[in-house]
Amino acid sequence: MKNNKSIIDKLTALWALNESGLGGFLHVFNTPFTGLIVGGIAILLISLISYYAENKWQAILKALVIVLIIKMAVSPYSPFGAYVAVSFQAVFGAFLFSKFSWKGATIIVLGMVTFLESALQKLLILTIVYGTELWEAINLYGVWVQKKLNFMSETSTTSFLVTLYLLVYGICGILAGIFIKNIIKIIANKKETDFYLDHEISTSKDEKKKVSFKTKVIWVWLITVAVIVLAFSFFGGNLFGWQKAIYILLRSFLILMLWYLVIGPFLLKMVRKYLNKKESQYKEDITNAMDLFPYFRRILSYTWQETKHLKGYARFKYFMANSISNCIHFKVPSE
């Protein structure tokens, strides 16, 4: 295929835009499911890089390094877990696509496994921070609710909720895989023609102040601790009480402080040290990718307006396919 390098470079830039949260996708999909959508888009772009690349493993890993360097520069406060999630998606995708064709169940497996990894990572973090006491508190709430409903089950509330949580993520991953296959088919069947931005496209700037990541963490911690404390205080009886609640409060606080002041910064420092070494090697690629960001935001806005005659799922599908197609075939004015 012609211009495959140019296409892969633009897909890498789109992936970096998606991960760094500079706008575009995140502005369009400002919903509680942003994490799932961002993860789904990442899998879509990894799959497309594989589709256009001859050496799939090399192309995806190179794109990953560029994306992480841009993420580090644009979103320096991103948690270490975000780097782990992105790297897992890329490495697992590179492994699958280097062994199997995207036409089979490869993308569906990629979607399901990466979504489950994201869910398990969240559950693991909760368990590390709050200990098994979190699950004990949930079970106490579950028993209380079941008594109110005159219904008692041998299955613990924790087992039910964790199973349901993983099931939802797994199903979403499968659906994302099917959706991505459809998107790739639409893009592959489109006539490859150059795309130009002939006129200025008015874009409304998002003036909303974003709540910092650290502020969100504090609120989540406070709410979660409050839920656990209330469970042990009101439903735990003499077996638990305030002593247990205070222990959970101090334990979770100390672990969070240890993570944010010692372990997290150390791991991020190691990641950044590695990425800084690679930065000079990919300096031109990184500059070119970031130079495309303003154009891509305008293309996304233009494509969203272009698909306004469609409704619901059809609009979402063709907006995604047409946006990516327009971006990868976009001609920079200087070209």
How many helices (H) and strands (E) would you count in the chain?
13, 0
Q: Give the torsion sign (CA, 263, 266, 268, 271).
A: negative
Asked if pLDDT for residue 44 goes beyond 50, the answer is yes
The three-state secondary structure class of 195 is strand
Query: Which residue(s) pair with 147 in the sheet?
Result: none
Q: What is the pLDDT of residue 266?
A: 86
Q: Is the pLDDT of residue 311 over 80?
A: yes
Could you tell me which residues come within 8 angstroms of residue 64 by beta carbon, excluding any fewer than 6 positions away? Answer: 86, 87, 90, 91
Q: Is pLDDT at 69 greater than 80 in this prediction? A: yes
Distance between first and last Cα of the chain: 19
212, 77 contact by CB (below 8 A): yes
Q: What is the pLDDT of residue 142?
A: 75
Element (H, E) at 262: none
| Domain regions of the chain by residue span | 4-224+271-328
Rg of the chain over Cα atoms, rounded to whole angstroms, equals 23
Q: What is the mean pLDDT of residues 237-259?
A: 73
3-state helix, strand, coil in the chain (%, to 5): 80, 0, 20
The helix (run of H) or strand (run of E) holding residue 233 is: none
Whether 123 shows a pLDDT value over 70: the answer reads: yes
H helix runs in 75-203, sequence order: 80-99, 106-130, 132-148, 157-189
User: According to the model, what pLDDT value does residue 183 have?
Assistant: 92
Q: With contact defined as beta carbons under 8 Å apart, do 66 and 289 qualify?
A: yes
pLDDT at 214: 62
Q: What is the reported pLDDT for 104?
A: 80
DSSP string, 264-298: HHHHHHHHHHHHHHHHTTTHHHHHHHHHHHHHHHH
Q: pLDDT class for 191, splitting at 50, 70, 90?
A: confident
Alpha-carbon gap, residue 312 to 264, rounded angstroms: 41
- Lowest mean pLDDT segment, chosen from 15-24, 141-150, 239-248, 291-300: 239-248
At residue 73 the predicted structure's pLDDT band, cuts being 50, 70 and 90, is: confident
Confidence of residue 170 (pLDDT cuts 50, 70, 90): very high
pTM above 0.85, yes or no: no
Residue 206 has pLDDT above 60, yes or no: no
Query: Mean pLDDT, the chain, as a whole number?
Result: 80
pLDDT of residue 202: 42
Q: Of 136-145, 183-192, 199-208, which one has max mean pLDDT?
A: 183-192
- Long-range contacts of residues 131-137, Cβ cutoff 8 Å, at least 24 apart: 131/248, 131/251, 131/252, 133/228, 133/232, 133/244, 133/247, 133/248, 133/251, 134/224, 134/228, 136/231, 136/232, 137/227, 137/228, 137/231, 137/232
How many Cβ atoms from other residues are within 10 Å of residue 147's Cβ? 11
* 122-140 average pLDDT score: 78
> Is residue 283 predicted with pLDDT exceeding 70?
yes
Name the phi and psi angles at 195, rounded to 5.
-115, 130
Query: For 30-38, what is the mean pLDDT?
Result: 64
